Amino acid sequence: MKQYKWSYMVSLFQQSKDQEDTEASWRCLEACINVIYGLDEVIRQCYAEKINCTEDELAEIMLVDGCFILELFLRFDRSLNYMKLEDFGIDPVLKSPWMITALQHDLGLLENQIPFFILELLYYTIMPHVINVIKCEPPKSVTSLALKFFPPMSQKSIEKEQVAAEFKHLLDLLHQFYYLPAAATGARDLSIEFNDRASLTSENEHRSASALCSRELDDQATNKSSGFSCCASELLESGIEFQVRSSTEDQLLEITFSEGVIRIPQLYIHETSRSLFRNLIAFEQCSISSTHGVTAFAFLMESLIRSTQDINLFTRKKIFRHNWIGSQEYSTALRDTLKKVVTKNDSYFATLYKEVNDYRKSYQWSRLQVFLRVQYQRQRGILCTTYFSTTWKVISLLVAVTFLLLSAIQTYYTINPHH
């Protein structure tokens, strides 16, 4: 990818009023270098492991990778008309569907992240130098550009000017946008001084995070939530319905239960879903402040999906929307993802589990009561029809009962003559 990265970076700097104006490109490059160089220590503190490279090498990595990612995002969003159609057709990256999928996979890897504020700094530095050659109007923040590059995980809508918030990196952006409530991703002032970030991250915190990732988790079984008492298809047979939430503002964790209906936001499944899911869970496991929402969501899905029948049910109910993966593959992917993963005891869905399991038990008892009542009424109807439909049948029944009692008394005194 090295040749593509440098090519994209040069192309980004050349988007000026006069593309032959080399001096303008150099001024843009110089501005970006000056911004990156002042953040060497802050950048190093964003990683748990020691970075074995010089200040110049680290600045070059951040500059080249950051500019490549920004140019990739701008080119990928065809609604911006950032590229001419003829240029789009000969682009070696965009014209290859498998390469786009590979880049979506690579940029979602936990070990392959660069600080999000680097992307923002470069973007805000470059934009004043970029005069929209083809009348393109790029968004004011990187957030919406990044969200449009990755395949959607749900039907939550992406606004053109997505509110900028505090993100660690691209994976954290996906984590907050699709899984965390809006209150947890509050807006921030875009004029924040990035040099102050050093005070937010201490060396002790990073050592703790690294230790957390490498700690041996022996109590996996005790920490895992019990989940639902049965799978989705069995819950359906027990009288519990499933519905898809239709709102475009719902996070994937907004799963509710009321009046015998579990409502689940629609989950999009695509080629990079398995990898992205793994990395989101890994990010939560390695993060000190994480609330383990994705992990809890994965355990909930594992609890509901135990066979192909459950997959087919969710697909029929439009809870799952997928275009490539088979039923068995998805079930296996979930179980493989959850191996050796633990979740906090304060599960997101502890209340949901209890409500559904209690409802199922009460519903089964209600069904048993209904069954017994129906059988009683049925047998009583048969009895009335057979023995009490006419007066002669009633008399015959009474005579038969009388003779039965007399026979029983005679038998008793025959056996016990002294009485």
In angstroms, the CA 145 to CA 139 distance is: 7
CB 230 within 8 A of CB 363: no
| Residue-level pLDDT at 43 | 93
Tokens of 3: 């040749």
Collapsed DSSP state (helix, strand, coil) of residue 357: helix
CB 154 within 8 A of CB 178: yes
Q: Provide Rg for the chain, Cα atoms.
A: 33
In angstroms, the CA 35 to CA 117 distance is: 11
* H-helix or E-strand spanning residue 241: strand 241-245
| Residue-level pLDDT at 86 | 76
| Residue-level pLDDT at 207 | 40
| Residue-level pLDDT at 369 | 61
94-144 residue pLDDT tens: 888 889 999 999 999 999 999 999 999 999 888 877 655 556 777 888 898
Beta strands in 169-224 (DSSP E): none
Q: Name the H helices within 160-269.
A: 170-179, 203-214, 220-223, 232-237
In angstroms, the CA 102 to CA 106 distance is: 6
How does DSSP classify residue 216? -
Q: Which residues of the chain have pLDDT under 70?
A: 16-21, 130-135, 161-164, 181-226, 289-290, 323-335, 339-340, 342-347, 364-378, 387, 418-419
| Residue-level pLDDT at 205 | 41
Beta bridge partners of 165: 187
| Residue-level pLDDT at 201 | 41
Length of the chain: 419
407 contact partners, CB below 8 Å, separation of at least 6: none
CB 55 within 8 A of CB 177: no
CB atoms within 10 A of CB 396: 12
CA atoms within 13 A on the CB side of 68: 17
CA angle, corner 275, sides to 269 and 278, nearest 5? 105
Tokens of 29: 């490059």
